A and B are shown apart, each in its own frame.
Chain A
Amino acid sequence: MKYADIVHRCFRCGYCKFTGDYTDFNCPAYRKFRFETYSPGGRMWLIRAWLKDEIQNSDRFQEILFSCATCANCVEHCVFTFSEDLVNIFMAAREEMVNSGMIPPPVRDYLKNITVNGNPYKLPAAERGKWVEGLGLEPYRGQEYLFYVGCVGSYDERAQKMARSVAGLLTKAGVSMGILGEKEACDGNEVRALGEAGLFEYLARQNIDQFKALQVKKIITLDPHAFNAFKNDYPDFGADVEVYHYTQILAPLMASGPLSLKSCEQKVTFHDPCYLGRHNKEYDAPRTILKAVPGLELVEMERYGENAFCCGGGGGNFFTDILGGGEDSPARLRVREALDTGAETLAVACPQCAKMLEDAVKSEELEERLRVRDISEIITACMA
């Protein structure tokens, strides 16, 4: 296994479980399951035991490994020099498990659906561009940017609304962009996170070939997960594109003036997506956008920025639901934390977070007190 020479170096001191200021345990899997085995240190020690044949690959072991949300809180707070590799180690262990064929059924189904259908929803590619109907957005044919939506934005009903909102706002702001529509393929970020390295490479090369064929130079992504894959992993396979999350395009436009905003008094708190924040250190762009709205009061949750608590959807859990369910599911904990700020709006910048947190608001029966809105939806509602 890759990184096998590192796993014995974990002291299991537990800094990885916390926020940097020790406000709370911040590993979503540990926070839900509460056995040490589900913490980053627990995984390190169990992976080592598994490699030494002291424990076997079991249902429980699979749950422990695949409940990791790859949120990188452990990477942020581990005190050792190998901290950067923690999530990579967990993904390497998953890769070994995938290669052995012993993985949780939802993971197997997800990977199979990507392989067979090109998306996790088992829907035809022809429906991939349906989200854009009526928007007038054109196929990519040399515009400045390619707007990449991803599987969730293309097929999930909640995320489609977000995709339409972002696309509409960028268009209003005068951003020149086109889409791939039914030709768009899965970015593979979750495929990689779930340990299917071969399939990820196939998807990456397929996408890169298409980008090159269409002479794509700049990409705007809806989803921070796709942003992460394109920005950090695709260069290994020859990608040569500039990649932006949509908030990074919108933020400078707020100051330059193409979007005219009215006063919009409301109290908003922002949930940092892990793949935008900790994985890519972009904490400012979303806040710059929100702060530009006249009358909008931005309040922070107790855990924000590098200490933000994951919604529980990362690392493939959005699709496999290994980490979801129950009162202590990360998403439900997170909306309760948002409620504590007194905000009436929980702002998000990721279609997966939007879905996870909106469902959690319903589970907590907080629909009357807290609404989940993508940043673009907030801005659109505040336009003069």
Chain B
Amino acid sequence: MTDIAQALARIVGDAYVSNRPEEAYFYARDPGLMPSHPPDYVVVPKSVEEIQDIVRLAHQEKIPIVPMGAGLALTGLVIPLKGGIVMDMKRMNRILEVNEKGRYAVVEGGTSQGLLRSHLEKHFPRLRHSIPDSPATATIAANVMIHGQGRLTQQYGFNSDMICGLEVVLASGEVCRIGSPALSSDWFSKGAPMPDLSGLFLGWFGATGIITKIGVKLYPRKKMRDVEIFITDRQDLVPDMVYELTHTEMVEDINVFAQPKPMIFKDNHHITLFFTGDTEEELEFKRKMIWHSLDRFIKAKDGGFMGVPPVMKPTLLDMPQRSVSRFADVKKGGGFEYSGPIIMVDKYPDCAQKILELAEKYDLGYSGMARIIGRSHAMMYGFAFTFNRADEEMMERTRKALHEVSEFALETGGVFWKATVDEQKMAMDKMDPTTLGLMKMIKANMDPRGIMNPGNWEVDE
């Protein structure tokens, strides 16, 4: 072992530090298409104190440090671009508190979405959190760090809008609490009514600090949940349809998908509507409100509700939807990647057209999926392409298609979600220079040694 490895072993124990080729290989890459780069060390800490000691060591030795949840962003955000230490957070997965009446939970920084879902179902069946459709191993902290979305995003915004406090280890090794827990034992706010400092960390991909605890807002979990699908071949009308649906305030979540396979899906846009109720009466009332909101489109023969086959419902109602991961093996190749810009809902027709063009141009399997954010305030449009991991040429075509998506997204007024390093550079090039200067100031002050996930959100001179 090297001196650094030995120092790390003294902190976390021999068993939880590695500088072996096997870990270097695995943690050098994610399931997406970004180039790999190996870490020098991988550590799996168990406590905040261990993380503090690791960060202090990294600070002293000027070693890059990259916190990692499940590594499922697909855009290379936990690939250690400059080597150093990858810190796998998943040993810190305790649920520390659930405040039932205050509707929040406090969890450790490596806690998975699946674990919190399971815990709430078993012990607090009237509570839920906004679970994303990334695999259940995805961690809550990493998801908010990238401004992820989930099942409650149409109602409450980004998942990062649904947090109520943070505990962060800074680049100096100090522990800092953000929001109400900075001065209270109660976790009910990430900022207000004080200055909201959570923005110093959220969206920074670990480039300003490592989340060790997170307060998550919980919401009422109704006893019943159902799904309807409205089908239209008029992509130009989808924004109007979504506008009407969001006006009802009856919908839990709105996803719109379009994909060529199976054949029954081809050339149509499927507005998938999830809704909930505590009674059959409540559920039926909401169903009717949702149906009636789209009456004018039905009368104009621009679309209609399909009867969702019972066999299809468990797949759609699954949380997270395991079928999302299955998309990776459509080509029997184990790979998919998507670019998911956050963009206005009225750009849906442009996005739907663009993905068709790119799929044809690069001969790729695709799925376009929009998740509505807020009451039609924006959407995440996922340009998803599946590829065969054993086919380098297909992977290259996919990279090119995704690059075109990035250019298109910027031109169309969108903002990159979980931006790749290249997209971060494109965003910073286009950004208001004063804003860029502010980002630079924040990064320089919060990470003066440049050790925190370096390569990400780096502002060049």
Contact = CB atoms under 8 A, between A and B. Distances in A.
A326 B322 CA distance: 34
A8 interface: yes
Contacts of A145: none
Interface stretch (B112-120, B262-270, B285-293, B362-370): B112-120
A36 B25 contact: no
A18 B114 contact: yes
A42 B26 contact: yes
B26 A18 contact: no
Nearest to A42: B26
Contact of A9 (B23, B70, B333): B333
A260 to B, nearest CB: 39
A55 B21 contact: yes
Given A18-B114, A60-B20, A9 B72 contact: no
Contact of B25 (A21, A24, A46): A46
Is chain A's interface secondary structure helix, strand, loop, or mixed overall?
loop
Interface string A20-35: 0111100000000111
A123 interface: no
A10 interface: yes
A56 interface: yes
Interface string A53-97: 011101011001000000000000001111000000000000000
Interface in A1-52: 8-15, 17-18, 21-24, 33-37, 42, 45-46, 49
Given A13-B137, A15-B135, A35 B325 contact: no
B326 A54 contact: no
A17 B136 CA distance: 10
Given A14-B135, A15-B136, A18-B137, A37 B16 contact: no
A74 to B, nearest CB: 13
Contacts of A18: 114, 136-137
Contact of A58 (B22, B90, B389): B22
Nearest to A54: B25
B14 to A, nearest CB: 11
B77 interface: no
Interface string B118-153: 100110000000000001110000000000000000
Interface residues of A, number: 35
B335 interface: yes
A374 B400 CA distance: 61
A56 B21 contact: yes
Contact of A35 (B42, B332, B333): B42
Contact of B22 (A9, A11, A23, A64): A64
A46 B44 contact: no
Interface string A167-194: 0000000000000000000000000000
B130 to A, nearest CB: 16
Given A21-B118, A56-B21, A60-B22, A13 B325 contact: yes
B332 A17 contact: no
B23 A35 contact: yes
Contacts of B44: 34-35
Contacts of B336: 11
Nearest to B91: A34
A280 B69 CA distance: 34
Nearest to B118: A22
A21 B122 CA distance: 10
Contacts of B388: 8
A297 B26 CA distance: 46
A46 B329 CA distance: 19
Given A13-B325, A80-B329, A45 B26 contact: yes
A42 B27 CA distance: 10
Closest 10 CB pairs of A and B: A22-B114, A14-B137, A9-B334, A11-B328, A13-B135, A13-B325, A22-B118, A8-B390, A8-B389, A79-B322
Interface of B: 15-16, 18, 20-23, 25-27, 31, 42, 44, 70-72, 88, 90-91, 112, 114-115, 117-118, 121-122, 135-137, 322-323, 325-326, 328-329, 332-336, 388-390
30 contacts: A8-B333, A8-B389, A9-B333, A11-B325, A13-B31, A14-B70, A15-B137, A15-B322, A17-B137, A18-B136, A18-B137, A22-B114, A22-B115, A34-B16, A34-B44, A34-B88, A35-B23, A36-B26, A37-B22, A37-B23, A42-B26, A45-B26, A46-B26, A55-B21, A58-B20, A58-B21, A60-B21, A80-B326, A80-B329, A82-B329
Interface of A: 8-15, 17-18, 21-24, 33-37, 42, 45-46, 49, 54-56, 58, 60-61, 64, 79-82, 326
Given A14-B135, A24-B115, 15 more contacts: A8-B334, A8-B389, A9-B333, A10-B334, A11-B335, A13-B325, A15-B136, A34-B91, A35-B18, A36-B27, A37-B22, A42-B26, A60-B22, A80-B325, A80-B328
